[in-house]
Structure formats: structure tokens, C-alpha cells
Structure 1
Amino acid sequence: MYNYEQNQKPHLLNIYHDRPSQHQKRVIFAFVSLFIIIFAIYGNTFQVPFHFDDYVHITHNKKLHITELTLENIKKTFTHYNSPHSIYRPVAYFSFALNYFFGRDNVTGYHLVNISIHLTSSFFLFLFIFNTLKLPAIKEKCDSNAYLISLLATVMWASNPVQTQAVTYIVQRMASMAGMFYIIAMYLYLKGRTSNRAYAQIIFFVLCSVAALLALGSKENALMLPLSLIFYDLMLIQSISKENIKKNLMFFLLCVLIVVGFGFIATYGKPLSPFAAYKIRPFSLTERVLTESRIIVFYISLLLYPMTARLNLTHDITISYSLFNPLSTIFSILFIGSIIAVALFLAKKRPLISFSLIFFFLNHIVESTILPLELIYEHRNYLPSMFFFVPFAVLFIKSLSYFAYKKSMQTIITVFTILVIVGQGHATYMRNYTWKSEGSLWLDAVSKSFYLSRPHMNLGKYYFDKGFIGKAILENKLAIKFNRYLNTGYRVTPHLNLIACYFKTNEFDKVIEHSTLAQKINPNISSTYDDMAAALIETGDLDAAYVNIKKSLSINKNNALAYNILGRILLEQGHFQSAVSELKKALNIDSNMTEAIINIALAYRQNKDYSESIRHFKMALLKDSNPQSFENIYANLGLLEVYALIGDRKALKKVSSNLVSSVDKERLLDMIANNSRSHLDTRILYSELKESYLSKGEDFFLKTEEISKLNPK
């Protein structure tokens, strides 16, 4: 067994050879420095909202919304959001569940955890590099400057703006948490490997195994850990020699088998099943591998020159169709091959530099080679780039040493290095402002990747949520125009978004048009038939609406909305009993469906059963007590009309007074004049509300042409 410093007492943080007090001061200084830097550059992220994949993985993932820490609840958090049986990144998912347990949807807690993970990763990276520089293989060359090299390399990594996607983007805690446990595992392995006490070795190796499993439970790219440790041990602990290479060959093959075995287990015995996803990708396996060579070179350039103008959530990358199309493909492959060749050439003389280079490429293998994932994301650099800046930190120290007798050059080099770190920190801080809202994030993505459909689609959703319907329509049309995806989900979504937009603008012919297009892309989405039926009701084609809603129910028998729409169709056709029956089916599925309750109230009103109509309108108001919601206003308007019909002036005035005091006048006018779905007598509504406003000395007038459209129903 290799012995490291025979006479030294083992200690978890024993990274320095001086007396303990000096060692502790240096460790504390390093931690405090990292703490200040990281919280300074990420301090503006605590109110950054959820974005993009945050919704599907966290806010809409009911499995994570635990209110009690029971074993059953905890077990549910370990599974994929879309499958009750598939274990999926359980460590990361459980951490999100804990965030929800303590703070619900308050993003501050999520960001505090993310930043703390980044701080922990940085601190253990510092410890690991420092301990590595004390190994006999490189001790003579770096021992005296080990502390400065370790801290400088760590600060350059931690402050790099490329890491913002793994730290600020909440869901990418998966990447940062995997990186954190990965570097902790490496540190514990080093402590165990260099300890001269058997019990200490056992403790460190057991803890290393636990950290490795936690890393793998956070994200699958941690699978490269065994290979990283083999290379590390061979190059930096044992040192390169023919004998050591032969001795470690069996361990290397064992690690490869572990990786392959995990892949076999993760795919439930079907290791080729993930490759079926190429059917929905706009690239083949060969094209992906070729393209990734250029992406890796881009990642390197991004780490070296991380200007905010170059950072993007969704990069637009041209696919490589061959070695020479585009020509940069072959040059990228040659560049990567040259770096790896240099790393292998330096393995014996410069093992630290060699390992840093090999580590980068090795840990990009999972996400940047053959698997049919999205081509590019910045957060994929979090783990691979951990040792990226070690050679630069060594170069800095060597440069200072080389110019030992030329103070001016030392000053220039030092100032330049400080400016680089300050510049990186500032760029990180500024990049975080891009994440401040969905609008700022997707506007940034659109400006940098205009010809990608996804940014337009998400910007369109943002505009829709904010009420900018015209802009939402434009962005979703651009999303359709620029679509390259074969995935039906991405192809159909802009059409679904446009359907929602055109309902807002009462352009029902366009709702029908995009419902038809959506059905052609994917005929198994029940909501497209719901939307088509709702639009056909507005155009008066009840027979076609009936056919569509029946199709919807054949796809999803538990579709409350479909039963509600079917009830509306039957109500329009005058089938009172059948309409109420279908509407009650909707309520059996979703008892809080206010619209179905209102439609039942309308059915009873149409059947002149005014007491039941009033009861259901009041029931709707109990379900939706928000005076500004459409359903609440509509239920009050329904009550207003029924009270007018039965001559209950006292109750009528009370409802009218509530509407006048709580709802904006223009909104009431708009609902009366333009709500084509209304089954109410809009002349009565206009007359009664006008009287209420006039009694307060206020105007309440529609234009003559608008009054002419008010028809009793």
C-alpha cells in the first residue's frame, strides 16, 4: 500500500504541512474568500423565478409537493415526473422535494441551496487540488506554491460565467449537485489513498463510495468517476510507468465494465433503447458525434472567453453532415486529437497538466458523444471544467517565477490575472440579470438564436401570460416557421399556443384552423378536439362540435373539460336533461370546475327553474371567490339576470352594487358587448348595470352598433 507522510496524523482537512494553527487559518481564509466571491456574484439570483424545465420537473411535479416527511412520500420523489416506476435522479429530486416542504414555491430557498452547492463544490475542489499538489509525483515542482495555485484555479472556475446555467437555473441543480458529490468523492478517495492508517482508509473509502452513489443519484454523467479515479491514481499517485500501466489495466477494464453495467441496468436490460430517440432528432448518430467535436471546441472557447454576449440558454448550432461539411468539423477533430495527444505526451513529465486535460474530455463523454440528447447546453461544463483552470494557475506561478528579477512584468501578470477574475465575476453577475424574468431570458435567447423555434415558442408563452396577445401570435408563428424538430411535442406546441391566442381574440375560424393542423401532427391530443368543439359551438356548427367532443372522450374518458363542452352542446340543442347529466359527469371528475357549475346554472335558467339556477350560480361563487376572475364575474352576471327575471329587486341591487364596486367598468362593458359565448340576456344586464352606474353619477354607455348586437337569450 502506498504510504503518504508516514509520520503525519490523518485529519479530514489535513492539507498543509505547517503547524495546525497556520493550516487552519489558510483553510478558513480559502473558504471565506470563496464564500464572499460566490455570494457576491450570485447574490442577485435569490428572486430569479422558475424557468423552462423548472416547471415540468418541479412546480408541476406533484410527486415533489410533499407536506409530510413520510417514507411513502419520500419514495415517490425518487421517480421520474412522467413515470411512477422509473427511478430518476433521486438525490436531486429529493432535494427539490425538501425545498418544497420547507418553502413551497418560494424561489429564495431553491437558490440558497443551489449557491450553497456551488460553494461546497468550490471548497472541496480547492482541498482536492491542494492535496494533489502535495503528492510526491509533483510535490517538488509545486509544493511551495500549492496554496496559491489551488485557490487561484478554484476561484477562476467558481467565478466563470459559464457556471451560471448550473447555479442560477434551479433545475440544473442536478448538474451542480452531481459535480459537488463527484469532487467530494475524489477528495475522499485521495485521503483514503494517502492515509497510512487502515481504519482511516476504510472510513475514507466507504465515504467515497457513498459520495459516488450520491453523485450518480444526482445525474448520470457522474458515471465517469471510476475512470477519473483510475487515471488520477495512475498519473498522480503511482506515476506513469509500463509496470504501473500493466498493473492498472485490469482496474481500468473493471471500471469500463461498471460503466457498461450501469448502462444495462439503467435501460432495464435494453442498452440500445435510448438510441430510439434519434427518430425524433433532426440529426443522426454520426451527425451528432461530428457536431459535438465542434461543440467541445466551442465550450473551450466559452470557458476562455465567457462574455455575456456569447452565453445563451439555447445555442443555435449548425449540424455537421460530414467531416468537411462544415469544414470546421475536421479542424475541431484534429484540435481535440492534438490536445489529447499532448496530454498523453505530458503524462509522465507534467502529470497534473495531463490529468487536467484528460479530465475535461473524459467527463464530456456521457453527454457529448453518442447519446441522442440535445446538442448543446452550457451546464454540461460544470463537472468537466473543474480542473480546466489548473494549468493556467500553474502558468501564472511559473510566469512570476520566470520574471523574478523583473518586477514590472510580475506586476503586469498579477494585475492581468486580477482583472480576469474581476471581469469573470462581473460577467457572471450581469448574466444573472438575464435570468430575472422569463421575458428577459427568452428575449435574450431570441436575439442570439433567432432562427431557433424554441425561444420564439417560449417568448410567445410569456407574452400570452402577460396579455400581449398580438406579440404572442407573432412569436408562435415564427416558432412554426423555424421548426426543425421531428418531435411531435415541439411541432404541435406552437399550434396549441395559437389556439389559446385566437380564443382570446374571438377568431374562431383560426382556432379551427390550428386545431386541425395540431390534429394532423398528433391525432391523440384530446385538448385539440376540445378546442375545435368549443370553436365550432361559437360558429354554430353544433353537429361538427359533437363529433369532435366524442373523439376527445374516446381518447380520454376522464376529461372533465370534454364533458363540460358536451353539456354546452346539448344545452344549445335544447336537450336539458342530457346537458345536465354530462355537466355533472364533469363535476364528478373535477368538483372544482366552476365553468361546469355555471353551465348547470344556465341549463336550469333555460328550463325556467330559477331557484336551482340561483343555487348553482351561488355555488360557483363559493368555488371561485376571486371577484376579478372571469367565472366569478360571469356567475354574478347570471344572478343579476335571474333576479331581474323573477323581479327580486333587492337581491338584484345587491349583486349589481357588488359588480360595480369590484369590477372595472370597461371590463364589464366588454363582457356584455363582446362575450359571444354568453347565454344571458345581455339587454337586461346592460340596462341594470347602467342604472347602477347612473345612480352613482357615472356613465355606462355602449356604442349604438354595440347595443344593436345585444340580444335576449
Structure 2
Amino acid sequence: MSSATANPPPQPAARLHWAIIATLVLTTVAAYWNSLAVPFFFDDKPAILHNPTIRQLWPLTAVLNPPQDGSSVTGRPLLNLSLAINYALGGTEPRGYHIFNLLIHALAGLTLYGVVRRTLLLPALRDHFGHAARLVAFTIAALWVLHPLQTESVTNVIQRTESLVGLFYLLTFYCFVRGLDSSRPRLWLTLCVISSLAGMATKEVMVTAPVLILLFDRALVAGTLAAAWRLRRSWYLGLAASWLLLIGLLIQTGGTRGEGAGLGLGATPWDYLLTQCRAIVLYLKLSFWPHPLVMDYGTDLVGGPAEVWWQGILLVALAGLTVIAWRRWPKAGFVGAAFFVILSPSSSVVPLVSQTIAEHRMYLPLAAVIVAVVLLLHQRMGRTAVIVLLCAAPVLGTLTHLRNRDYRSELALWTDTAAKVPANARAQINLAEILIKEGRPTEALVAAENAVRLRPNYPEAQNNLAIALIQTGRPQAALTAARRAVELKPDYAGAHSSLGIVLAQLGRLPEAIQHFEAALRLAPGSGEAPGLHYNLANALLKSGRFTEAIGHYRTALQHDPGLAEAHFNLAHALGMSGRYPEAEAELETTLQIDPHHARARAILETLRAGPR
């Protein structure tokens, strides 16, 4: 038998199938390649940098029990496990986390392609779309993976929670569709339930998956809910059982997400529902015209129905059309139902007060919008319309690549956010904080003043204002802001530190020492602790408490041995304590770090020349 007979060439359909897979993966990588250099920011920091449960993969029970601090990993054990895997592979280097996110997004796009293609080949749709199922599914998946509205879910590391639950949601659907005509339905049932369980352990929006699959069955397969239940009761019992995991996780977290989500957190369901009228219409607008894109819209709520009257009318009309379509044309009605059902956990009446509007919530609902547009145009205009839409994919990919540039640094991102939403106090607070770290106090002062104007009762805003005023040489004004920050939040270590600094500048050393000590008590192991030890040591040195100052200088230098001024001041304290050999050694270290330190050189020469 010839080799040609033994290994027949792949069929054109198979070649096309693999070409589509390769194209989806490569275009996704191209669009998001520049996201690999994006640093950690915002919610990444508490969930990754300050999360002790991801530091080791074993015991697994520890990894699957994330901190109950209201951060993005709270109540989401599988998300926490994914971060622990990243940490095991590359520590806190952001690139590995971005590669993981990119992989998830590409897999989700491939799964969406599979779900749509197999759905279009179902008996209910085969006559209309079967001949073009592959092209239509490819177009939908390409538009979805390359759409710039997805950037927050992919480029923002911790929004992996959105893309990962999206992947499990789509896998659950894929397994269900595969099981409809498979000779091994139990295998696909098992995989379907496993995917649902994984989604429940990733994010709460997965709660809607079993419901949406039942609606899918009714609209496209069984014809009625009763028939769907009768034909696939075991499937729905298995999917419903996955809710038990989510219920357990919600009980574990007290039914809320720390200070971020739930009832009784300062926002009424009515106010939040009104705000979601604005949010959902914005999401729809961004689906068709993705500009401007904003990483953080803040925490503002709508003041009343008058502010969103037209958005409310539009959404009621869309919901009404969905209901009518569901009754008369259930195949079309399902797409509208999918949009509203997937959004319902985050965009209805349960307040998510930490972010009242967030683009990442459109990660999966965007698929419903794209499916509706592509199928409608295909019905009206045929294959030509689909090809034209497919040509829009490179444009969307380019816009995604350009949007990722806004994430290139924390300063660039918060500058962009504050410019697009000037009334967002959190953006102004973060911008001020970054500008302070960048050594740009004058610009930081502007952002800090904006934040205080917007939210005078935010302790972080007052503290940033105090620091900016200190750095621009206005200690009296800084004193007022720092005191206000401490009044607003007495357990705020950063505010006590700022108050200590300004009191020390004003020569009120006993009070300064008290606040530095309070800051250390409140945050003994924080990243700010070395600076607190250094500032406390300086105040103790000026107060003549040399022995105590020496101890705090040494603690500060354990964390940052390259701080020349700390070595110099330690030498001063040692010299004042009569410990001259140790003082000489510290002066020598000072000069090794900073050879141009004139005072250290002069004192060292004096010590070496004079009597002891």
C-alpha cells in the first residue's frame, strides 16, 4: 500500500477548521501582545502582591481558601488557584500573569466558535445557517476576541475572574451542545457539570448558566420547558447541584464581598437599578462604538429617575421586545434573553458599590450582541454581510492594541481615567498617589485637591493632599489635611505617618513620635514599615533618644540597606551615644553608597583626626 493511500491528505473542511483555529489564536495574540508589559495596578495589588495564600501550591486547601478581605479573590477559590500557579511559575513578574490571561481569552474565543458553529448546525437552525455555519461562527468569534471592549477583562490581570468564568460558561454550553447528539452523552454530561462547578468557583455570574442552558434547550431543541426537563432531567439536576458550591462559598463570605457587594452597604437596590439603566445603555453603545473606554468609572450612583429616563425607556422597550420575541420567535428571543440573563447578577438590583459601572461585565454579554448583529445581517443580506463584518475584525484588533497602550504604566492609566471621568474621585486619588511616588508634587497637589473637592470625607483623598502639601512646602495646610484623614479613619496607618511627618517638620516631636508609633502598630508588616521606622528614628534622634533611634535605623536598613541617609543618621546616633567605631563604619558605608556625601566625609575625617 502506498504512503499516499495510508495517509490520505486532510479534507478541505478539516484544513479550514484548523486554519480558523490558528487565525483566531494568532490574531488574539497580535492584538494583545503589547499587554504583556503592563504592570500590576489597582485591584491586582491586594489580590496578588498582598495575598499570602498564593505563595505556595500545597497544601491545596490553603490555596482554595482565599483571603476573606473583600478583594477580587474572596469567595473565588479557582481564581486564587490560577494566581498561585502563576506565582509558582514566575513569582510576581507580571508577564506570566498576562500570558495566562491571553491564553484564557484565546481558549474562550475558540470555545465560542465551537458553541456557535454547533448551534447553527442544530436541526432548528440548519436550514438557515448550516451552509455558512463555519464562516458565521468564525466571524462572531473573531469580532468577540478582538473587540476593544474586552481589554479590561484581558489586560487587567485580576479581571481574569471575568475571562476565566467566561471560559467555563462557554465550556458548559459547549459540553451541553455536544451531548445533544453524542453517542456518549454521560461523558458530556459529566464534563458539563464539571465546567459549571469550575465556573461557580470562579465568579458568581456563573449562577445564571444552568438557567440559560434550560432556555437554550427550550428555544432551540426541545420546544418547551416541560419537554426540556423531561428529555434531559439528569442534566438539569447535575447543573443545579453545582449551585450548592456557590451557595457554600457565599455562606463562607457572609453573602457579600467585603465592602464591595451586597445589600446594606450604603446603596439601595432602587438607586443601583437606576444606575444600571445608564450602565447597560453605555455597554450597548460601547459594543458598537468602543470609545471612550474607561478602566474605572468610580462609585457614583444615579440621583433619581429623571437622570436616566430615556435609558430606562430604552431598556424597558428592549426587554419587552425580548419577551415578545421569546414567545413568538424563541430562537431570536433567546439571544436577547442571554444578554439580560448574563448581566443580571451584576447589573440589576444587588448593589456592587465598589464599581457601579464596569466594562468587564460585558465580557460574555458582548457575545450575545455580536451574535444578534451577525445573524440578523446574514438573514437580511446573506454571506456578503458576514464577510464585510469579518473585515471589521482587523480594525477592532488594531483598536484593542491601541487601547492597551493606555495600560503601559499606572501613571498613564490613571491619567487617562481621570481625564475621561473627571468626577471619579478614586481616579483622582490614585493619580495623586502615583504622581507623589513619581516625585511630581505640584501635579499631585492638583489631583489631590480635585479628589478632596469630590469626596471630602475620603481619608485617602485627605492623606494624599497632606503629602502633596508637605512636598510643596506648606506644612500648616498639610497639618489640617493629615488631621482630617486621621479623624475620618483612626486606624489608617498612612494618615498617622503623614501627620507624624508634618508634626516633625513643625518641631512638635513628641506628637510626631506618637503618630509614627501608631502607624507602626497599625501596619507592622506593610511595605511602608521601613519608611516608618526611618521617620520615627529621625524624630527620636532629634529628641535626644539615641538608643531608640539606633534600633529603628537598623530595622529600616534591614529592609533597604542602600539608603545612604539612614546610614548617615545612624552614624550620628551612634556617635552621640559614644560608639565611635560603629559610627565610623556607618559613615564609611554612607560614602560607599554615595561618594559625594560631603557631610559624611567631613565628619569621618574629623573622627579619624581628633581625640576620642
After TM superposition, the score normalised by the length of structure 2 is 0.84
Please say if 1:428 is aligned against 2:400.
yes
Distance 1:298 1:473 in 2: 32
Aligned ranges 1:460-499 → 2 under 5 Å: 460-483=432-455, 491-499=458-466
Q: Give 2:339's aligned residue.
A: 360
Shift in Å, 1:269: 8.5
Identity %: 21
Q: 2:144 aligns with which of 157, 163, 182?
A: 157
The answer to whether the aligner puts 1:441 opposite 2:404 as a matched pair is no
- Contact 1:224–1:362, Cα closer than 8 Å, also in 2: yes
Q: For residue 92 of structure 1, what is the aligned residue in structure 2?
A: 79
Amino acid at match of 1:470: T
Equivalent residues in 2 for 1:151-300 (5 A)? 151-195=138-182, 197=183, 200-240=184-224, 244=227, 264-268=247-251, 280-281=265-266, 283-300=267-284
The answer as to 2:585 corresponding to 1:631 is no
Counterpart of 1:478, as a letter, is: N
1:316–1:452 Cα contact (<8 Å) kept: yes
| Residue of 41, 49, 55 corresponding to 1:51 | 41
Question: 1:25 matched to which residue of 2?
Answer: 15
Q: Distance in 2 between matches of 1:689 and 1:596?
A: 18
SS in structure 1 at match of 2:372: helix
Structure 2 residue 306 is the aligned partner of structure 1 residue 324: yes
Q: Deviation at 1:510? A: 3.8
Q: How far off is 1:279 after superposition?
A: 5.2
- Deviation by residue 1:681-704 (Cα, 9 ceiling, x = unmatched): xxxx58558999xxxxxxxxxxxx
Change (3 A) 1:252 1:377: farther
For the residues of structure 1 that align with 2:297 and 2:158, how far apart are their CA atoms? Answer: 18
2:289 counterpart letter in structure 1: Y
Counterpart in the other structure of 2:358? 377
Q: Which residue of 2 aligns with 1:334?
A: 316
- Paired with 1:687 and 1:563, the residues of 2 have a C-alpha distance of 26
Q: Return 528-537 or 89-98, whichever deviates more.
A: 528-537
Q: Deviations over 1:356-389 (max 9, x none)?
A: 2211110001111122202111111112222321
Amino acid at match of 2:50: H
Aligned residue number for residue 11 of structure 1: none
Cα separation, 1, equivalents of 2:524 and 2:569 = 28
CA–CA distance in structure 1, aligned partners of residues 193 and 228 of structure 2: 24
Residue 34 of structure 1: CA displacement?
Answer: 0.2
Residue of structure 2 aligned with 1:597, choices 535, 542, 551: 551
Q: Quickly say closer, same or farther: Cα 1:114–1:622, change in 2 above 3 A.
A: closer
Q: Is the 8 A contact 1:64 1:93 kept in 2?
A: yes
Q: For the structure 1 residues 296 and 250, does the alpha-carbon distance in structure 2 shift closer, same or farther, using more than 3 Å as the test? A: farther
For 2:538 and 2:53, the matched residues in 1 are separated by 34
Partner Cα separation in structure 2 for residue 210 and residue 175 of structure 1: 18
Which digits, 9 at most, give the CA deviation of each residue in 1:319-353, with x for residues without a partner? 444443443243233233233234314434xx1x3
1:122–1:297 CA distance, 2 compared to 1 (3 A): same
One of 52, 68, 89 as aligned partner of 1:62: 52
Q: Do the aligned partners of 1:297 and 1:336 also contact (CA within 8 Å) in 2?
A: no
- Aligned residue pairs total 591
Cα offsets for 1:258-279 (capped at 9, x unmatched) = 6986665344289876799555
Compare relative contact order (CA 8 Å, sep 6+) and give the higher one, 1 or 2.
2
SS of 1:30's equivalent? helix
Q: What is the root-mean-square deviation of aligned Cα atoms in Å?
A: 4.0
Mapped partners of 2:199, 2:419: distance in 1: 35
Matched-pair contact (CA < 8 Å) for 1:125–1:183? yes
Unaligned segments of structure 2, at least 5 residues: 1-8, 608-612
Give distance in 1, aligned partners of 2:551 and 2:591.
24
CA contact (8 A) 2:463 2:498 kept: no
| Range 540-549 or range 32-41, more displaced | 540-549
Of 439-448 and 501-510, the range deviating more from structure 2: 501-510
Give 1:28 shift. Answer: 0.8
Alpha-carbon separation, structure 2, partners of 1:629 and 1:262: 54
Contact 1:460 1:475 in 2 (8 A): yes
Matches of 1:290 and 1:533, distance apart in 2? 44
State the partner residue of 2:4.
none
Are the equivalent residues in 2 in contact too, given 1:162–1:311 (CA < 8 A)?
yes
CA deviations 1:35-56 (Å, max 9, x no partner) are 1210111111111111211111
| Structure 1 residue 528: Cα displacement | 3.4
8 Å CA contact 2:53–2:67 kept in 1: the answer is no
The DSSP-based 3-state class of the residue aligned with 2:432 is helix
Q: Which amino acid aligns with 2:405?
A: Y
Instruction: Give secondary structure in 1 for the equivalent of 2:36.
Output: coil
1:140 to 102, 110, 127: 127
Name the CA distance, whole Å, in 1 between partners of 2:579 and 2:484.
47
The offset of 1:210, in angstroms, is: 1.1
Q: Note the alpha carbon deviations across 1:125-184, whole angstroms, 9 max, x for none.
A: 111111111111111111111111111111111111100110111110110000011111
Question: Is contact 1:294-1:332 (8 Å) kept?
Answer: no
Deviation at 1:447, TM superposition (A): 1.2
What per-residue deviation string (whole Å, max 9, x for no partner) do you get for residues 606-652 of structure 1?
xxxxxxxxxx7xx97676432x554245446767x679x9998x996
What's the counterpart of residue 5 of structure 2? none
Q: Who is 1:114 aligned against?
A: 101
C-alpha deviations, 1:68-92, integer Å up to 9, x for none? x4225x62353126389x9621111
Contact 2:296–2:427 (CA under 8 A) maintained in structure 1: yes
Structure 1 position 314, deviation (Å): 1.9
Q: Secondary structure at the match of 1:532?
A: helix
The 1:236/1:449 distance shift into structure 2, 3 A limit, reads same
Paired with 1:204 and 1:513, the residues of 2 have a C-alpha distance of 65
* Match of residue 71 from structure 1: 59
105 and 295 in structure 1: CA distance in 2 versus 1, 3 angstrom threshold: same
The 3-state SS of whatever aligns with 2:347 is: coil
- Partner AA of 2:201 in structure 1: G
2:329 corresponds, among 342, 347, 350, to 347
